[in-house]
Every structure is written in structure tokens, then in C-alpha cells.
Amino acid sequence: MTWWRQTAIYEIYTLSFQDSDGDGFGDLRGVRSRLDYLVELGVGTIWLCPFYPSPMRDWGYDVADYCDVDPRLGDLGEFDALLRDAHARGLRVILDLVANHTSSEHPWFLASRHSRTSPKRDWYVWRDPGPDGGPPNNWLSFFGGPAWTLDPKTGQYYLHHFLPEQPDLNYRNPEVLEAMLEVMRFWLERGVDGFRVDAAAHLIEDAHFRDEPPNPAWRPGMRERDRLLHLYTEHQPETHGVLQRFRALLDRYSEPGAERVLIGEVYAPVEVLIRYYGSAEVPECHFPFHFTLVDLPAEAWTAERVREVVEAYEGALPAWAWPNWVLGNHDRPRISSRLGEERARLAHFLLFTLRGTPTLYYGDELGLSDVEIPPDQVKDLPGFREYGGRWSRDAARAPMPWDGSPGGGFTTGTPWLPLPQDFRTRNVDALRKDPRSFLHLVRQLLHLRRQTPALAEGAYRSIPAPPGVYAYERVWGSERLLVALNFSDRPRVLEASGDVLLSTHLDRSGRQRGLLALQPYEGILLRPSSSGGTMEVTTDGEEAI
Ligand code: GLC
């Protein structure tokens, strides 16, 4: 069992975690000052969202220099100190590799747009206008409008799946791939433990630049970009060749027990997602992030549907491939806003008891909800456009509330985004003092997971349960644990005997005999007393109480 299978990943949206110099933006020194919190929480790996020099049109996902630190967030010395201190505490550090595109202010793009004959021209995707003088084809950008922008000076369009200020690199040009491998070497030499590859599904586009057909399933309220079926801008076969090269480099920097990992950001149904693992002979990602639960609508969080999601993924994975689970990230509404606090606690019980590496989004351990951002204060303009003005990603990126002081312990200045509305009562200090808080639940789940091989490494085995309940076992050698999750708002009853190791409600433990009554939205982890055989489960639900 290797570290990246056993670990829990904690996503740090660097700009919002901890400010150390009072400018209102989170920074690297701030992260460093909070490492002990992360150790106490029980995560093993941090993924740092971009901290590179950037014009901040997409808050760091528009990189102007891959091998430096934005002065607002620190410098390379600060980075090295953070990495050293993290490693000293046994924490691994993964960086965000924004490989698909650069900032339009990156020197590579400035050289590329300079003239049609620039040696860097072909580092980006340039095309002549279409027959009508408009864009070369109908491709759409995530952030609204065409995926092409005309550069008047040279009379050609360049491709950007995101903002016009985020031109797409051309991975059909081997020099570009070499340059990105060089960037990776730069950070690997400094000692990072791996990369999360941003927008991994978009690295290469169709060689023939074919128009995408209309999406018959598009309905108002869906993203404008999804008016088209993305046959030619996502999941292209050649993309896998790029990821194989990334992986091969990481493998050269790996030693047993000290692998450097490659994780891809890939939104896809599981049958497409599994391609990003590559094969046992030619591997790609150690795992691509699996986002089904991130995009599962609130009404689909039922025992039956969630069981289907888990089993579809478990069933699709080749035996050698390792699963992973995610509930939220900096691009999506927070899980507590989507499900409410009670069900969000249950969702975390699921996250940390399933087979596979869990990723926790900063602040979700406090049960943070999305913040309300008045439209005139939106910082995430691209996301605001992406979601048709209904939501901006700022909502999920509020500064971490550490205490109830005016800056929430996040900053002594004015935070760049508003603190969560309820930060005076919902903050790390306050939740630490409440033994039944969300924070304590996550902490206990993470610690149990670390101490219990069946949870970290055991096989997943589905077991029958009454309607509204999802139950499974985790099995490791002779050790067997039962997880039972009541997704309904009614009490439910199972027949089970053993020791309750943990409940979502943090209000019971110890020996349990015969009928096990689950409260609404309660999850239970139980070590059965009987050996062998499958748990007996009643199907008559609440009537059995
Ligand atoms: C990824 C990031 C998102 C960013 C986009 C463009 O999806 O997670 O925040 O806007 O890529 O880099």
C-alpha cells in the first residue's frame, strides 16, 4: 500500500486559507503557519491551488511564470520553507499544474502573438478566420462566447477554452510538451510530491478543427458551452499521450514509498474517466479526480442512487486501479450548501469510509456554506459568466474562519472576499470547543481511517439494507467493518451486533446488540461481533422500532 492510496488530500485554495501580511490575500507563509492544524485534523497531503505570478484574471489559473511565486503570495524561499515544514510533519505537497493554457501575459504567448513567423507562434493554437471572417469553427469557451479570439495584429484567431487571457498551449508541438516537462522538473527538484493537472481533459483538440454538433439535451439553465456536444474539444485520444509523458517523468523521480503522483482534473462519466488511468503497462494518472458526487444534485442523494454511483465506479475500475472520492472544490457550490449540514455530515461519513483516496475541500470540515456575494462585488467574473450570472465561484472560496475576531483570524486587514456570514460562531476555535461539531466528526473519521487498515485499504463489499439505507462492508484480512448510512429523514432499523466505532451524530459508541436504530441522516461505523457471514439486515425499516 503506497502513501497516495492511504492519504487523505486537503485542497487549499491558497488565496483564502491564511493571510500572513495583512493584505487580505492568503499566502504561502500563512499556509505554513497552519500546518499543525492540518496534522491535528488528520489529512496527509495538501494540494495547493496556484500561487504563481499571475494577472489574476482567473485568480491564479492564468499563469505568467510557472517557475516562481506571485509576490502577493510569497517567494521561492517561502515555498521551500513551506515544503520543508510540511515534510517535517509528514505532510505531502501537491501543486496545481495549469498545463492547458498560460496567461496572455506569459512571455511564451507574448512571443507567439508577436508575428506569424515567431519561433513560438506554433506554441499556441492559431487559425485563420472562417470563410465569413468570423471564428475558425463553432467551439465555445467555458467562460462565455467563442473559444477563439482574433488577434488584429496578425489577423489570426487563437484558441482559449477559458478566458481570452488564457490562451491554449499547443501540445501537438513537441517543444511545448518539453517545456512543460521542464516546469515539472523544476518543482520535482525542489521536492514536491506530485501534481494536480488542471483541465487535463482539454490538453489537445481535434486535429481537423471540426465543428461540434448541437447537444439535444441542452436546456435553459445549463451552461452555454454545453449547447454543443464536446466531441472535439474534450478527451481526445492524443491527450493520453501527453499524460503518459507526464507520468513517465514522475516515475523517474519516484522511489518505492516516495512516489510522485499525477492526478488529473477530469469531469467525465466513469466509462470515460477510467481511460485517464491508462493501462497497467502504460500508466497515466495515479487517479483522475472522480467528480460524480460533486455534481450529484441534492435530490439524487438517496441511498439507492449513491449506491449506484459507488458501484458503477467500483465496477468500471480495472483491478489494479485505485478509486478516489471528492465532494467539493473551488469551482462548485459547497456540499453543506447543496445538502444542508445534516446530510453534509453523512456525505463526509461516506467520503472517509469508502474505498479510495478522499479529497476534502478546505472549510468543508467546518460545514461552511457558500457565502453570499452581491453582484457588484463579484471577483470571479469568468465563473459568474459561466453560470449565467446565477452564481459565482467566489461563493465557495470564502476566507477560512479560524476564530471570531474581526478578520476571522484569516487577516488583520480587509479580506479579499467576504468571510462566511456566520463566521463568528462557525470557526475553527468555536468548533474545536464543541465535541459534537462537524470538525470533530471529520477529525475522528480521518483518525479512524489512519488507524484502521480495513478503512484505508480494505475491499468494498455491498450489503443489502432497508429502503433509505445504504450499507457496505470494508474487509481487510479477518477484519470486517460495517458502514450503514441512513439517507432518509426517518429512523431506520438494521439487525446488527457489535461495537459502534463512530456515529455522524457523535452521541453514541460502544456495544450494540440486536436491532440497530439509525436516526434520520445518521451514519454508523460498526465492528461486528459475529465472525464470518454477512450482516443480517431487516427490511421492515422504522416499523421494527
Ligand atoms: C480548472 C480550475 C478552474 C479554472 C479552470 C481554468 O477547471 O479548477 O478554477 O478556472 O481550470 O484554468
Residue 460: name the closest of 476, 480, 474, 479 by CA: 474
Q: What's the mean pLDDT when you consider all of the chain?
A: 96
Mutation test of ligand 1: which of 16, 61, 234, 391 has the most ligand atoms closer than 8 Å to its C-beta?
Answer: 61
Residue 438 contacts by C-beta under 8 Å, 6 or more apart in sequence? Answer: 341, 344, 345, 348, 365, 366, 367, 431
The grid coordinates listed for 175 are: 517543444
Q: Is the pLDDT of residue 534 over 90?
A: no
The ligand 1 atom at the shortest distance from the C-alpha of residue 98 is 12
Nearest CA to ligand 1 atom 12: 61
- Which residues pair with residue 194 across a beta bridge? 94, 261
Mean local confidence (pLDDT), 89-93: 98
Give the distance (Å) from ligand 1 centre to CA of residue 98: 8
Q: How far is CA 214 from the centre of its chain?
A: 29
Nearest CA to ligand 1 atom 7: 199
Nearest CA to ligand 1 atom 2: 198
Query: 354, 390 in Cβ contact below 8 A?
Result: no
Mean local confidence (pLDDT), 122-126: 98
Residue 84 contacts by C-beta under 8 Å, 6 or more apart in sequence? Answer: none
Could you tell me the pTM of the whole model? 0.97
DSSP string for residues in 248-286: HHHHHT-BTTB--EEEE-----HHHHGGGGB-SSSB--S
Give the distance (Å) from ligand 1 centre to CA of residue 388: 17
The grid coordinates listed for 202 are: 482539454
Residue 459 contacts by C-beta under 8 Å, 6 or more apart in sequence? Answer: 355, 474, 475, 476
DSSP string for residues in 399-445: PP--SSSTTTTT-SS--SSPPPTTTTTSSHHHHHH-TTSHHHHHHHH
Q: Where are the beta strands (DSSP E) in 138-282?
A: 148-151, 156-159, 194-197, 261-264
Give the distance (Å) from ligand 1 centre to CA of residue 514: 50
Residue 98 CB less than 6 A away from ligand 1: yes
In tens, the pLDDT along 414-453 reads 999 999 999 999 999 999 999 999 999 999 999 999 999 9
3-state SS assignment for residue 512 = strand
Q: Is the pLDDT of residue 544 over 70?
A: no
Residue 394 CB less than 6 A away from ligand 1: no
Mutation test of ligand 1: which of 12, 57, 58 has the most ligand atoms closer than 8 Å to its C-beta?
Answer: 58
Nearest CA to ligand 1 atom 9: 331
Q: Helices 174-190 and 76-88, interaxial angle, to 10°?
A: 60
The ligand 1 atom at the shortest distance from the C-alpha of residue 383 is 10
Handedness of CA 350, 301, 371, 144 (dihedral sign): positive
Residue 162 CB less than 6 A away from ligand 1: yes
Provide the pLDDT confidence category of residue 512 given band limits of 50, 70 and 90: confident
Q: Is the pLDDT of residue 130 over 70?
A: yes
What phi and psi, each to the nearest 5 degrees, are found at residue 527? -100, 105
Query: 148, 167 in Cβ contact below 8 A?
Result: no
Alpha-helix residue ranges (DSSP H) falling in 94-173: 107-114
The ligand 1 atom at the shortest distance from the C-alpha of residue 382 is 10
Count of Cβ atoms closer than 10 Å to residue 530 Cβ: 12
Query: 169, 149 in Cβ contact below 8 A?
Result: no
Provide the pLDDT confidence category of residue 313 given band limits of 50, 70 and 90: very high
Provide the pLDDT confidence category of residue 509 given band limits of 50, 70 and 90: confident
Residue 331 CB less than 6 A away from ligand 1: yes
pLDDT for res 530: 64
Give the distance (Å) from ligand 1 centre to CA of residue 265: 9
Give the distance (Å) from ligand 1 centre to CA of residue 23: 24
In tens, the pLDDT along 209-250 reads 999 999 999 999 899 999 999 999 999 999 999 999 999 999
Give the distance (Å) from ligand 1 centre to CA of residue 494: 43
Which residues are identified as catalytic?
A: 198, 265
Count of Cβ atoms closer than 10 Å to residue 280 Cβ: 10
Q: Are strands 492-495 and 515-518 parallel, antiparallel or unpaired?
A: antiparallel
